[in-house]
């Protein structure tokens, strides 16, 4: 897909390089700072930038008008990160003597491994995974510990328990985060069916004793699957930055890169891996060896699929400038990708009734919101 390594990223994404090389930010004029503060906040990368600048001891050299926003967002991030650690400690005691592995996913896993790219995240939920046969036991333990499952109507409850890879999100009256309990990383009825046993056979310890994390290659694949197969692509540069961070961090270990295509094939995640590599290399300059890229490309989507999928993803992922309205091209691309996403997630006979139900739910919720906020 991308044969050339070290391409310059599109110029409107140049600021993203400062996530890795904070000193680049020192040359930004005030107008660029204003743009970056607005964009980065919307893309959930402002605190990440702040943590990079703080670690490089450069905060004092940032124009005060911009610095206050960096500090503000950094505080928000540190508060949320502290909430993650606090919540995980509480949840760990609830699952303490469970005879099955308890796994941190996504952001929680990055924090749980102390990855440098975890600094500056804004977690609002917590994703954990247990083997499918133990989900009800884990859920019962959590409920005993005060976690509550949101009330669901018949359709939604069927959706979660039969078609989904997680149980309905849980909340706790004393803990600020939402908890998502998974038994897989993609829905079991999706076209790409991931065998969770393969994931569970290669777990690694995290910094926190009871918790484990996925194999590093699987973490990359999960992140890629989440971005390219599991939801809406607009304003998701943060997920690409995560992938770039994971690839750079784990990439220094010998054998890691060549393991990626192997794991992708074992898990059936060749397409998301190929897409992740394409955008990381082209937009972030992620160093991936040429032979690995070649293998990834050969197992990824064919020429025809690339021809329509890459431009669509490119349109959808490219952030709109803060003063602009999203171009029609992006709206259409996002819609086309949404159709693709739903088609991949569910067979049509389930999808149509599901979307009909969602549409009605959105309408009802919209009316309630309007009533709630309609005041001065």
CA pair distance 34, 166, nearest whole angstrom:
40
Q: What are the φ/ψ torsions at residue 370 (nearest 5 degrees)? A: -60, -40
3-class DSSP assignment, residue 202 = coil
| Least Cβ distance, residue 32 to other proteins (angstroms) | 12
| Least Cβ distance, residue 61 to other proteins (angstroms) | 17
Cβ proximity to other proteins: between 33 and 159 the closer is: 33
| Least Cβ distance, residue 337 to other proteins (angstroms) | 18
Q: Which of 331, 125, 145, 127 minimizes the C-alpha distance to 213?
A: 127
Contacts with other proteins, residue ranges (CB under 8 A): 30-31, 34, 38-39, 41-42, 65, 68-69, 71-73, 75-76, 78-79, 82, 320, 322-326, 366, 369-370, 372-376
Please report the DSSP string for 243-301 in residue order: HHHHHHHHHTSTTHHHHHHHHHHHHT-HHHHHHHHHHIIIII-----HHHHHHHHHHS-
| Least Cβ distance, residue 334 to other proteins (angstroms) | 13
> Which neighbouring-strand residues pair with 102?
211
Cβ proximity to other proteins: between 205 and 366 the closer is: 366
| Least Cβ distance, residue 371 to other proteins (angstroms) | 8
Cβ proximity to other proteins: between 71 and 292 the closer is: 71
| Least Cβ distance, residue 53 to other proteins (angstroms) | 15
Cβ proximity to other proteins: between 42 and 357 the closer is: 42
Is beta strand 170-172 parallel, antiparallel or unpaired with respect to 148-149?
A: antiparallel
CA pair distance 330, 336, nearest whole angstrom:
10
> Which neighbouring-strand residues pair with 148?
171
Cβ proximity to other proteins: between 112 and 319 the closer is: 319
């Amino acid at each position: 897909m991308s044969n050339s390594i070290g391409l310059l990223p599109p110029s409107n994404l140049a600021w993203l390089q400062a996530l890795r090389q904070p000193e680049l930010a020192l040359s930004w004029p005030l107008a660029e700072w204003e743009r970056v503060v607005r964009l980065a906040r919307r893309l959930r990368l402002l605190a990440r930038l702040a943590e990079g600048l703080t670690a490089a001891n450069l905060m004092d050299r940032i124009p005060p008008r911009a610095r206050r926003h960096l500090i503000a967002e950094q505080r928000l991030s540190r508060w949320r990160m502290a909430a993650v650690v606090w919540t995980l400690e509480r949840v760990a005691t609830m699952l303490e003597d469970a005879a099955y592995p308890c796994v941190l996913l996504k952001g929680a896993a990055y924090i749980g491994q102390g990855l440098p790219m975890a600094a500056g995240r804004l977690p609002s939920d917590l994703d954990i995974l247990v083997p499918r046969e133990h989900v009800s036991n884990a859920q019962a333990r959590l409920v005993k510990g005060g976690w509550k499952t949101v009330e669901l109507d018949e359709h939604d409850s069927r959706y979660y328990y039969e078609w989904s890879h997680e149980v309905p999100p849980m909340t706790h009256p004393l803990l600020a985060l939402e908890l998502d309990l998974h038994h897989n990383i993609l829905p079991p009825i999706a076209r790409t069916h991931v065998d969770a046993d393969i994931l569970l056979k290669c777990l690694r310890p995290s910094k926190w004793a009871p918790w484990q994390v996925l194999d590093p290659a699987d973490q990359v694949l999960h992140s890629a699957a989440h971005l390219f197969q599991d939801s809406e692509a607009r304003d998701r540069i943060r997920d690409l930055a995560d992938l770039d961070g994971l690839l750079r961090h784990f990439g220094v270990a010998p054998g890691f890169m060549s393991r990626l295509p192997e794991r992708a094939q074992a898990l059936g995640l060749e397409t998301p891996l190929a897409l992740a590599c394409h955008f990381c290399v082209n937009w972030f300059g992620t160093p991936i060896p040429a032979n690995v890229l070649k293998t990834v490309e050969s197992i990824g989507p064919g020429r025809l699929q690339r021809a329509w999928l890459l431009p669509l993803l490119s349109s959808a992922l490219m952030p709109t400038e803060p003063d602009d309205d999203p171009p029609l091209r992006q709206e259409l691309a996002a819609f086309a990708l949404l159709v693709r996403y739903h088609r991949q997630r569910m067979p049509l006979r389930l999808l149509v009734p599901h979307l009909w139900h969602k549409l009605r739910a959105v309408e009802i919720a919209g009316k309630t919101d309007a009533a709630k906020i309609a005041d001065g």
